[in-house]
Amino acid sequence: MPDAKPNNVVAAIDCGTNSIRLLVAEVTADTFGNPKLVDLTREMRVIRLGEGVDASGEINPAAIERCREALTDYAATAHKLGATAIRMVATSATRDASNKEDFFGMTAEVLGQHFPGAQAEVISGDTEAELTFAGGVGELDPTEGPFMVTDLGGGSTELVVGSFEDRRPHINSAHSMNIGCVRLTERVLHSQPPEATEVRDAKAIIDESVSEALTHVDAKQARTWVGVAGTFTTLMALALDLDTYEPARIHLSRIPLADLRRVCHSLLGMTSEERSALGPMHVGRADVIGGGALVAMRLADVAESVGIDTLVVSEKDILDGIARSVANLRS
């Protein structure tokens, strides 16, 4: 006889520029009566949905098919585990693509097989900031705030400053920068390892974006810097000298900024093949993490300038925020 399914299960899908991720979780309650998520499964695949979008203005049909394959499996998994509600959030690049109807039509078709009416949605910047923040700091001590949460993705990087009060996120300021590991790699980091001129050009792009972001986000309010998503979690795994990727050891671990810079410099000097040989490195991240390392180093400068000397890395991010939003709607 198959195992009994939990009674209250939700599913969340985060489809970014580089990867697509699934979380299926049972909704319980914490001691305060607030929704608490207990993971049933987490999955991640690199599909490179944003491959070439920056240059062509459209989503590569091959990338849409890679997404279809992953999404078909994700929807089936969520259904099998008993999910009765699902929410899928897609990268903002899909909203502006000339063939966006192909993508959104595909998601409605695939998700609708198990969850009628469901399809991918592109959320506003304010909603993205709140979901990212809620996921990233939900398990940290609120007294460590205010927090500066950084979600370093494939096509964009979000900076969010806020606090947790009455067990709810309160966003003070937020800004999304059009820089990420895939976007920087496609634009300027063409060599492996990147040449000095390519690194210089990438740093110029990053500096311009960060300077603009700091006119919108008051980093001086922050007491703790939190990094979320694959670039940061991989950097932490390498800093911890892990032989394989171990989420439990990475989650809420802390790294001095000097050690963060050391790991970033090391990666920049490697070829894609050398990075792939590192135990915790996902094969789909090896050729683009150099761009992420450059962004991380620049943001370490920002953190240091406001008196922060350590980075906290959280395995929980916007994916968890999405799941929490579904749970809140159902509670």
Q: What is the pLDDT of residues 183-224, one digit of tens each?
A: 999 999 999 899 999 999 999 999 999 999 999 999 999 999
Q: What is the CA radius of gyration of the chain?
A: 19
The DSSP code for 194 is P
Report the mean per-residue pLDDT for the chain: 90
10 pLDDT exceeds 90? yes
Query: By CB neighbour count within 10 A (0-12 exposed, 13-18 middle, 19+ buried), where does 304 fall?
Result: middle
Tell me the average pLDDT across 150-156: 88
18 pLDDT exceeds 50? yes
Helices (H) and strands (E) in the chain, counts: 13, 11
The DSSP code for 52 is T
Q: What is the pLDDT of residues 300-326, one digit of tens each?
A: 999 999 999 999 999 988 899 999 888
CA distance 11 to 71: 12
Q: What is the pLDDT of residues 235-283, one digit of tens each?
A: 999 999 999 999 999 999 999 999 999 999 999 999 999 999 999 998 8
Range of the domain at 153: 140-315
Q: What is the pLDDT of residues 207-217, one digit of tens each?
A: 999 999 999 99
Q: Is residue 182 part of a domain?
A: yes
Task: Look at residue 178 in the predicted model and tell me its pLDDT.
Answer: 86
Tell me the average pLDDT across 75-100: 90
Question: Are both 165 and 304 inside the same structural domain?
Answer: yes
CATH code for the domain in which residue 79 is found: 3.30.420.40
Residues 6+ apart with CB under 8 A from 153: 16, 17, 18, 91, 180, 181, 229, 231
CA distance 108 to 152: 27
Task: Look at residue 327 in the predicted model and tell me its pLDDT.
Answer: 80
Encode 149-182: b = buried (16+ Cβ within 10 Å), e = exposed.
bbbbbbbbbbbbbbbbeeeebebbbbbbbebbbb
9 pLDDT exceeds 80? yes
Q: Is residue 299 part of a domain?
A: yes
Task: Look at residue 199 in the predicted model and tell me its pLDDT.
Answer: 95
Q: Is residue 133 part of a domain?
A: no
Question: Are both 160 and 195 inside the same structural domain?
Answer: yes
Encode 79-91: b = buried (16+ Cβ within 10 Å), e = exposed.
bebbbebbbbbbb
Specify the 3-state DSSP secondary structure of 81: coil
CA distance 113 to 86: 12
Q: How confident is the model at residue 57 (pLDDT cuts 50, 70, 90)?
A: confident
Q: What is the pLDDT of residues 24-41, one digit of tens each?
A: 999 887 655 556 788 999
CATH code for the domain in which residue 302 is found: 3.30.420.150
Residue 117 tokens, joined: 């009416």
Question: Are both 325 and 295 inside the same structural domain?
Answer: no
Overall domain count for the chain:
2
- pLDDT: which is higher, 154 or 211: 211
Question: Are both 90 and 196 inside the same structural domain?
Answer: no
Q: Are 86 and 115 in contact (CB under 8 A)?
A: yes
DSSP strand E in 47-166: where? 85-90, 120-121, 147-152, 157-165
Question: Are both 33 and 97 inside the same structural domain?
Answer: yes
- Identify the CA nearest to 49 among candidates 60, 41, 38: 60
Q: Using CA of residue 111, residue 112, residue 116, residue 118, what is the dihedral sign?
A: positive
Question: Are both 187 and 311 inside the same structural domain?
Answer: yes
Question: Are both 151 and 179 inside the same structural domain?
Answer: yes
The C-alpha angle with vertex 42 and arms to 159 and 125, in degrees rounded to 5, equals: 25
CA distance 301 to 31: 39
Task: Look at residue 3 in the predicted model and tell me its pLDDT.
Answer: 46
Among 64-73, 123-132, 204-213, 226-235, where is mean pLDDT lowest? Answer: 123-132
329 pLDDT exceeds 90? no
Tell me the average pLDDT across 4-19: 81
Which stretches of 118-195 are DSSP H helices? 125-137, 181-187
Question: Are both 34 and 181 inside the same structural domain?
Answer: no
